[in-house]
Amino acid sequence: MTDIMVEVSGLTRRFDVSSPWLNRLLQREPRRILTAVDDVSFSIARGSTYALVGESGSGKSTIAKLVLGLLKPTAGQVLVDGSDLSATATAASDALRRRVQMIFQDPYASLNPRWRVGDIISEPIEVFGLEPDAGARARRVAELLDQVGLAASDATKFPHQFSGGQRQRIGIARALASRPEFIVCDEPTSALDVSVQAQVLNLMRDLQSELGLTYLFISHDLSVVRYMADQVGVLYLGRLVETATRDALFEAPCHPYTRMLLDAAPRIDGFGREHQTDGGEIPDPINPPSGCHYHPRCALATERCRVEVPAVSNLEGRQVVCHEATQILSGSVDL
């Protein structure tokens, strides 16, 4: 039986973005509710990588904050090793938080520019009481810097003295400082050059193999996802529309939105290739379309799609939320 470390069930998050009460009263405006995450469920096996992909505004970063306990869900729950991080703080939840860390998207904004690198990395060690004295913490910092490909002498420097790739390595070292088991990676390489991206991704894979880490990997770059992920979830307007293993999803995508993302991704052999876009943009999450949210952009949309929310279909080990999923998988319809 697969050892599940993270279990997300019915996760929903709504934000009240209404004008102040008096403005609404005077202008007779209704309350405005933005649904950022809508009934999302998935699980992550221990030691594996689950990737979330989708356009900007699809809810990826909101899910990351919900999983970390930085936001409380409107409905549903997130269990990490059977415990809810958003629950009231207890000794058990504090111990669990040590095992959950995050690698941020911007490798400079996530580091305190006034602190030396050694202080940045040693802060989690001190906060969680992992090393008894300053000398032990300094040795641990040196070990972490070496682990991510930097020198122990870098501990005395400030973040501005490093390149973008080096700063991201510092961020990874800080994430590893508390000896975590689960790391949320929020587009950790999107701000880096392509060659540096490859180095950082290789480092993350090596660390996962060496330390047995579990990743929730968030990205809009499908080439990165294909390299890193074991399982992939495709998000559209806060809903998971397709979930499959990496190989199954890239070889035979079943949802029209997934196919659109793959078709739009850059390819080495793509010079001169004609790309047919879906001719639309992601709708307003405050006033989403009825039925299937993707129907205004979908070439296969029918009247049923406009009025009925598709059920989850389990097809050959994958989950697809589309009325035409069976026909797409069988090849009886052409996108």
Domain boundaries, the chain: 4-23+30-99+180-268+275-330, 109-179
What are the beta bridge partners of residue 51? 217, 232
Is the predicted pLDDT of residue 257 greater than 80, yes or no?
yes
Q: How many angstroms separate the most distant Cα atoms in the chain?
A: 69
* pLDDT tens per residue across span 79-105: 998 888 776 566 667 788 889 999 998
More confident call, 205 vs 329: 205
> Are the C-beta atoms of residues 298 and 259 closer than 8 Å to each other?
no
- Residue 283 pLDDT grade (very low, low, confident, very high; cuts 50, 70, 90): confident
Strands (E), the chain: 4-16, 33-45, 49-53, 75-80, 83-84, 100-103, 182-186, 214-218, 231-236, 239-245, 312-315, 318-321
Residue 233, φ and ψ in degrees, nearest 5:
-115, 130
Q: Reduced to 3 states, what is the DSSP secondary structure of residue 239? A: strand
Q: What is the pLDDT of residue 24?
A: 87
Q: What is the pLDDT of residue 324?
A: 86
Mean pLDDT throughout 220-231? 92
Q: Cα separation of 213 and 193, whole Å?
A: 25
Q: What is the pLDDT of residue 81?
A: 87
Report the relative pairing of strands 214-218 and 49-53 from DSSP bridges.
parallel
More confident call, 335 vs 231: 231
Closest CA to 239 of 8, 49, 15, 35: 35
Is the predicted pLDDT of residue 272 greater than 60, yes or no?
no
Number of residues assigned to the chain:
335
Residue 157, φ and ψ in degrees, nearest 5:
-90, 170
Closest CA to 11 of 61, 102, 73: 73
Closest CA to 9 of 61, 82, 58: 82
Q: What is the mean pLDDT of the chain?
A: 89
Closest CA to 212 of 329, 330, 87, 46: 46
Mean pLDDT throughout 108-116? 92
> Are the C-beta atoms of residues 179 and 98 closer than 8 Å to each other?
yes
> Are the C-beta atoms of residues 293 and 283 closer than 8 Å to each other?
yes
For the record, the structure tokens of 104 come out as: 């941020």
Strands (E), 46-179: 49-53, 75-80, 83-84, 100-103
Taking the CB of residue 273, how many other CB atoms lie within 10 A of it? 9
Q: Cα separation of 110 and 2, whole Å?
A: 34
Q: Cα separation of 255 and 234, whole Å?
A: 9
CA gyration radius for the chain? 22
**254 burial class (0-12, 13-18, 19+ CB within 10 angstroms)?**
buried
Is the predicted pLDDT of residue 180 greater than 80, yes or no?
yes
Q: What is the pLDDT of residue 278?
A: 60
For the record, the structure tokens of 27 come out as: 């202008």
> Are the C-beta atoms of residues 323 and 304 closer than 8 Å to each other?
yes
Question: What are the Cα distances from residue 161, in Å, to 114, 148, 193?
Answer: 12, 17, 18
- Residue 145 pLDDT grade (very low, low, confident, very high; cuts 50, 70, 90): very high
Question: Which fold does the domain 4-23+30-99+180-268+275-330 belong to in CATH?
Answer: Rossmann fold (3.40.50)
Residues 6+ apart with CB under 8 A from 299: 256, 278, 335
Q: Reduced to 3 states, what is the DSSP secondary structure of residue 131? A: coil
